[in-house]
Chain A
Amino acid sequence: MDFVSNWILTAIIFMPVLGAVYVWFGSGNRLPQIRSAAMIGSMLTLLLVVWAASLHSQGQGQTVDGYGLYHSSNWMADGDSRIDVNYTVGIDGVSKWLLVLTAFLSPLAIWASFSSITNRAKEYYCLLLLLESGMLGVFCALDLLLFYVFFEFTLIPLFFLIGTWGGQERARAATKFFLFTVAGSVLTFAGVLYLAYHQFQYGGSGVFSLNIPTLVHHGQSGLIPAGVQWWIFLGLVAGFAVKVPLFPVHTWLPLAHTEAPTAGSVLLAGVLLKLGTYGFVRLALPILPAGAEAFAHFMSVMAIAGIIYGALAAWAQEDVKKLVAYSSVSHMGFCVLGMFSLKMAGVTGSVMYMLNHGLSTAALFLVVGMIYERYHTRDMNKLGGLARQMPVMAIFLIIFTLSSIGLPGLNGFIGEMLVLIGTASSGETHDGLIAGPLGMAYAVPAATGIVLGAIYMLWMCRRVLFGPVNEPPGTPDTSAGLPPDLNGREIGILAPIAVLCLVIGVWPKPMIESMQPAIEEHILASRVVDGDMDVAQKDADAVEQETGIAFMISKDADSKPIDFDHAGESKEVIEESGVRNGS
């Protein structure tokens, strides 16, 4: 087993590459073979990821600094043991779930491309698989250079995917996307190198290291003066904020999402945006605690601006895909807001939000793609009453819409709630963490984003699904062999996501439980006062007492046996209930 747990992450990262090589050289020129080869490659990756996740939760393999399945081999040998730049991989409770999300969405994205991609299919599937590889690599990497390598590498396949198989304005969209991201990430690059230098010079180890755990230790030891932290923080943020995207630098996103082929939009919204937020939680928050705290207000204001601006912009769209794209700007704002509360509840909510946004937005893009394949338009003025034509599609669209607006019982709610709780209670010291920078003043305007979200999403549903039937002439186009409503393949794509939305919505406990130790150890360690941390519950407790939000939580608690519904109970009770649930 040691061999397996040593190498399984490497196998995960390179399995899609193998798949791509097989698609290119081994699958001949016939479309069905190319498709199935790509599908098998990504399914094998998913199997490996599930295996790795179970190995990780059993505590198999080498664990270093709390990162499981740790493996390190010499990559940048230059004859000097004082340079620690290696191929280092490992996962913790946070990256594990993002890994699962990536591996889960990739086969679906490939499957969804079966009907729409016939032109240069071989290259297309190769690029999708390479993209998957890059994304998996980011979540596995524990070396900063390796992280950066994968982080940047994801741009290349996506650039080609958008630029070659995209819509009318694909060239502009691809270039804008690429250049925006590069412009940000070169500054990240500078920040990373300066950080490494600082660790080498002042960290006392005498080793020039880009190892993430080493740098986290250095950052949390307080050896980086606040002024230096600010600069490094700004450098790191430049790249991550563009990727997220945070408010003023979001303009590449609507264009790229709208022009990308469906699979591109799915992976872009589902996973690639999370590379930015993951960068925040993995690097910026733990390594630069003072920088994070100093800029928390600024980042949160930008996040709230994004929430409201994105929502208003989404409301104004006529193009369904653009609407979903702008909703991503709004939703990712919540993600950033939550983590800068620097509280357990907020960060947990933020990570949950990444996963849930990945599921629901990816699904929405899939549904929009399916509509587009039949009607060749996404203009809401030209579509209407589709619930009568496509009842199955309508069911799915409604499920994902509700998940996206955060209906209790579906997955979106958990993250949203935790983010708001964390933000509102950020200024308090009650949960074993020192007081965070945010407070009610941030939670209230953010909450309006939820209301706006409900308005534009339901508005979109009403216009597309209900009312008198409105179809462009000559549609639905069934010439490509598609039935008027969804076929088995398309249901097979959407159903797993819908099921997951429900399961996470009803029973998020295992996820939250497995990520909270990692958050405590790897993200918020420098903020723990007494080492005695009990998670979201106390945060929720405090908010309950102060605000009306308590009503919603307890209502939720009545309906379902989810975890944080024990808000208000003492820690002992929760432990008991954990035992009860386990037995």
Chain B
Amino acid sequence: MDLSAYFPGFLPELVMVVGACAVLLLGAPARAAVPGDMSKQAPGIVAIIVTFTALIISLWLGHPASETACPPGLMASDLLYYVRIGGLGIGVILLFANLHLPVANERAEFFSMILFSLTGLLITAAANDLLVLFFAIELVSVPTYILVALTREDKRASEASVKYFFLGAMAAAIMVYGFSFLYGALGGTTTIAGADSMTSAAASTNTNTALIVAGLLLSFAGVFFKLAAVPFHSYVADVYEGASSTISGLLGFLPKFAGLVAAVKLLSIFAWDVPPQVLWVLWIVAAVTMTVGNTIALLQRNVKRILAYSSVAHSGYMMIGLIVGPSLLAGAGPMRDGVSAMLFYMVLYGAMNLGAFAVLGTLAKSGESVEDIADIEGLNQRHPGLALAMALCVFSLMGFPPTAGLLGKVYIFSSAFSVGADHPFGGPLVVLAVIGVINSAIGAAYYLRIVAACYNRESRTETQVVGGPALRLAVVVCSGLMLLLFISRDAKSAAATVVTKQVVTKNLARASVTPQVAERDSATP
């Protein structure tokens, strides 16, 4: 079959790959020639154009039609569409936020790494084969190791990069080991959707249960590392602190998003009808992740470390949606569909987290980056606009009106309750949701310290605004989104329609409707 037949359906991914290579090539002449201003700016601008083009193409393509020609190992689904819009949309903001980085020579490499990482995210969503899934996740991760090192000429950045790389490599190894178990459990196939043999029937046979549990848990270990979920969270603070602020914003988005998408893929193999041990492990990890992340964040004084541990906690919230799973009701909406709620929250989190980090990135204290909470005291008096942006993003992280963060929390927790008491895992999920809301109260304590520092304290340190207009634009967009998504019906409905298009139906449609899903369905009037 002619390869070009596959092009139309996967044009955005194609644009991204070609663009990433092109940006990488831009670096060669720039190094040879005397680095002029134009050649310095070119890689970043080209990267933005590429990503924006891919975004426009994705919008123009719309939801993939069911007859889209897919090459082996890839699959066009509504999930892919959502990841394209969400990932590339936030990706453009990310590029704007990082346009002033790095100061060193490796600008072309830097931006092409971001593009590769974004490409990896898209392919994760398109993967229909465990091997492709593994490669895609590595494509997301490997560039991030490099990005951490490239952003700052600082020992801490190199240290963070090495730590991140070694732990990441180990997690990847565990994950691929898990995939090998799944290969066995599924009867010698690695296809995610479409193999009729690997429906819930596979889960129910005794011989395979142990294999499935082992395979899923090992695979999830890799996912947990990407999510920074406990017990694989220990790298977060050092890495986020070591990287420059705006790259920390990226680290809170790309690997996490890829991890969640991979988790959706893994569970959709079994249409969420996995052995209860797996759900319980996910439950425990979610509960512990929220609690540990929030508790450690309470003890920090460094704003980047606070945000890093809060990122751990947010992974916990999102895992609630993962455990809830999709609702098979037509148009259930994120209020009742855990996966939709989780994916909505993920993109939202990407924006609010990036916004908070971008505000930090905008500030400098005599050439040094601003990190300690004392440095942002009285920010409101020096830079009212930045303080307002910070407040909006932080209130959104807190889940407070009038910001979109509240809606994210509404969706996640409401979907957890909607599983229903009749469902065997309904009761534990209600408990988990209650743990979640209590955790968001704990979270409020340290977020409030950031806001209080900005507004209620007297300014003590002199800070300068650095980073240029592109970074400030990113700050405005991120914080503006928080208000816009909350207030505007159209923006919300646009975001929600993407989600409600049943991101995983295509996977689930092939699997037979499992008893528990059917039960959930019939319990609904």
Contacts and interface: CB of A to CB of B under 8 A. Distances in A.
Q: Do A and B come from one complex?
A: yes
Interface of A: 74-80, 82-83, 85, 145, 148-150, 152-153, 155-156, 159-160, 163-164, 170-171, 174-175, 178-179, 182-183, 186-187, 189-190, 193-194, 196-197, 200-201, 204-206, 208
Contacts of A152: 400-401, 406
B258 interface: no
The 4 closest A-B pairs by CB, nearest first: A78-B496, A163-B456, A149-B401, A77-B493
Given A79-B331, A194-B417, A204 B525 contact: yes
B351 interface: no
A79 B500 contact: yes
Contacts of A75: 489
Nearest to A197: B417
B523 interface: yes
B424 to A, nearest CB: 16
A163 B452 contact: yes
B525 A206 contact: yes
A149 B497 contact: no
A311 to B, nearest CB: 31
Contacts of B507: none
Given A74-B489, A78-B334, A83-B335, A193 B500 contact: no
A171 B452 contact: yes
B496 A193 contact: no
A147 to B, nearest CB: 11
A201 B414 CA distance: 13
Given A175-B452, A201-B523, A206-B525, A80 B500 contact: yes
B492 A196 contact: no
- Main DSSP-derived SS at the A contact region: helix
Interface in B456-497: 456-457, 489-490, 492-493, 496-497
Interface string B404-432: 00100110011001101000000000100
Contacts of B523: 201
Given A83-B335, A155-B400, 14 more contacts: A77-B496, A79-B331, A79-B333, A80-B331, A152-B401, A156-B400, A164-B456, A175-B452, A186-B438, A189-B413, A190-B434, A193-B410, A193-B433, A196-B414
A79 B493 CA distance: 7
Interface residues of B, number: 45
B427 to A, nearest CB: 12
B444 interface: yes
Contacts of B81: none
Nearest to A152: B401
A80 B499 CA distance: 12
11 contacts: A78-B500, A80-B500, A82-B331, A149-B402, A150-B401, A152-B400, A159-B452, A164-B455, A187-B438, A190-B417, A197-B414
Given A79-B497, A149-B401, A200-B418, A190 B413 contact: yes
Contact of B333 (A83, A163, A175, A193): A83
A197 B420 contact: yes
Contact of A193 (B413, B420, B489): B413
- Main DSSP-derived SS at the B contact region: helix
Given A76-B492, A190-B437, A201-B524, A175 B448 contact: yes
B116 interface: no
A208 B448 CA distance: 33
Nearest to B525: A206
Contact of A186 (B420, B440, B497): B440
Contacts of B413: 189-190, 193
Contacts of A80: 331-333, 500
Contacts of B284: none
Contacts of B500: 78-80
A208 B336 contact: yes
A79 B496 contact: yes
Contacts of B401: 148-150, 152-153
A77 to B, nearest CB: 4
A160 B420 contact: no
Contacts of A153: 400-402
Contacts of A159: 448, 451-452
Residue of B332, B489, B500, B523 most packed against chain A (CB within 10 A): B489
A196 B525 CA distance: 14
A148 B486 CA distance: 14
Nearest to A83: B333
A186 B437 contact: yes
Nearest to B329: A82
B395 interface: yes
Residue of B448, B490, B524 most packed against chain A (CB within 10 A): B448
Contacts of B406: 149, 152
Interface in B496-515: 496-497, 499-500
A179 B489 contact: no
B492 A78 contact: yes
B167 interface: no
Interface string B432-452: 011001101100110011011
Contacts of A193: 410, 413-414, 417, 433
Contacts of A85: 335
A138 to B, nearest CB: 11
A85 B395 CA distance: 22
A77 B493 CA distance: 5
Contacts of A83: 333, 335
A170 B456 CA distance: 9
Given A156-B400, A175-B448, A196-B414, A78 B456 contact: no
A392 B411 CA distance: 56
A183 B329 CA distance: 34
B446 to A, nearest CB: 10
A182 B410 contact: no
Interface in B288-342: 331-336
A208 to B, nearest CB: 6
Interface in B367-422: 395, 400-402, 406, 409-410, 413-414, 417-418, 420
A174 B331 contact: no
Nearest to A81: B331
Contacts of B457: 171
Given A78-B500, A163-B456, A179-B445, A189 B402 contact: no
A546 B413 CA distance: 51
B497 A194 contact: no
A145 B411 CA distance: 12
B430 to A, nearest CB: 7
B444 A182 contact: yes
A182 B443 CA distance: 10
Residue of A149, A170, A189 most packed against chain B (CB within 10 A): A189
A183 B123 CA distance: 41
Interface string B130-144: 000000000000000
Contacts of B441: 179, 182-183, 186
B301 to A, nearest CB: 16
